[in-house]
Amino acid sequence: MIIVIFFKRYYYPIMAKNNKLFERNVPGSTAILQKSVVAIAGCGGLGSNAAVALVRAGIGKLIIADPDIVEESNLNRQYYFQSDVGQKKVDALTAHLKAINPEVIIDAYDKKISRDDISEIFREANLLIEAFDRAENKLWLIEAWCKAFPERAIICASGISGLGNTDELRIRRAGHIYFCGDEKTDMSMGLCSARVAVVANMQANIAIEILTKKG
């Protein structure tokens, strides 16, 4: 009896809500995505926006990592709000993702990850979204991921800055490595919300494509 009451009061409403949440998804995609795990290295402009897109699509679990605190200057492009300023990015992002889908599982690492962490922290992930800001960090992450998981995809971003030239944003692929962006523009040019979000969503879109193709 107690179990039935618990189910009706707590579990069923969540299930019912999630059935509605994903009812406009592409048929057949939700069940696959709910069984999938995506890792995101960095929770800035790329990582936070890609995470939101993946959760809205129905991803079952995210592994996120970032050592930073939310600053007001992040709000021009990152998925945070004034009330998040001063909070750890991974905590604020987890709250926003759970506000979209309370059932999504988030493993959050509030730390600056290194080469040595990759095989342990991301071992469950089907693929990785690279969302670092410094190019030299992108480089070691790609090398470490390909060494640890040579058969799993890594979706990188390079060239997301400035304004205009939207038609130069592209996706290039070699083996399991994907690159989104124009591979030219540098953050010293300044960062615009729309352009950063376009590339973050290109990354999320490729992740969804890979996961749903594998089934």
Partner 1 sequence: MLKINNRDKIEWNKGMTVRDVLNRMKYSYSLITVTVNGELVLKEDYDSYKVPEKADVIVFHLAHGG
If binding is defined by CB under 8 A, does position 183 make contact with partner 1? Answer: yes
Nearer to partner 1, 42 or 60 (CB): 42
Specify the pairing of strand 177-181 against strand 170-174.
Answer: antiparallel
Q: Give yes or no for residue 104 binding partner 1 (CB under 8 A).
A: no
* 111 sits near partner 1 (criterion: CB under 8 A): no
180 in Cβ contact with 198 (< 8 Å): no
159-178 positions binding partner 1, by CB under 8 A: 159-161, 172, 174-177
For residues 35 and 147, which CB has a smaller minimum distance to partner 1 in the complex?
A: 147
Helix intervals (H) in the chain = 2-6, 12-21, 29-34, 45-57, 89-100, 118-121, 135-148, 193-214
Smallest distance from partner 1 to CB 112, Å = 14
What b/e string do you get for 52-68 counting C-beta neighbours within 10 Å, with b at 16 or more? bbbbbbbbbbbbbbbeb
45 is an interface residue for partner 1 by CB under 8 A: yes
> In this chain, which of 37, 38, 39, 46 binds partner 1, going by CB under 8 A?
46
Indicate the residue among 124 and 186 with the shorter CB distance to partner 1. Answer: 186
d(C-alpha 93, C-alpha 151), whole Å: 29
What tokens were used for 112?
């600056």
Task: Name the residue nearer to partner 1 (CB basis): 21 or 153.
Answer: 153
Q: Is 75 in the site for partner 1 (CB under 8 A)?
A: no
Q: How many C-beta atoms lie closer than 10 Å to residue 178's C-beta? A: 23
Asked if 135 interacts with partner 1 (CB under 8 A), we say: yes
If one asks whether residue 194 binds partner 1 (CB under 8 A), the answer comes out as no
Phi, psi of 62 (to 5 degrees): -120, 140
Q: Are 41 and 129 in contact (CB under 8 A)?
A: yes
Interface with partner 1, residue 60, by CB under 8 A: no
| Interaction site with partner 1 (CB under 8 A) | 42, 44-47, 131-136, 138-139, 142-143, 146-147, 156-161, 172, 174-177, 179, 181-188, 191, 196
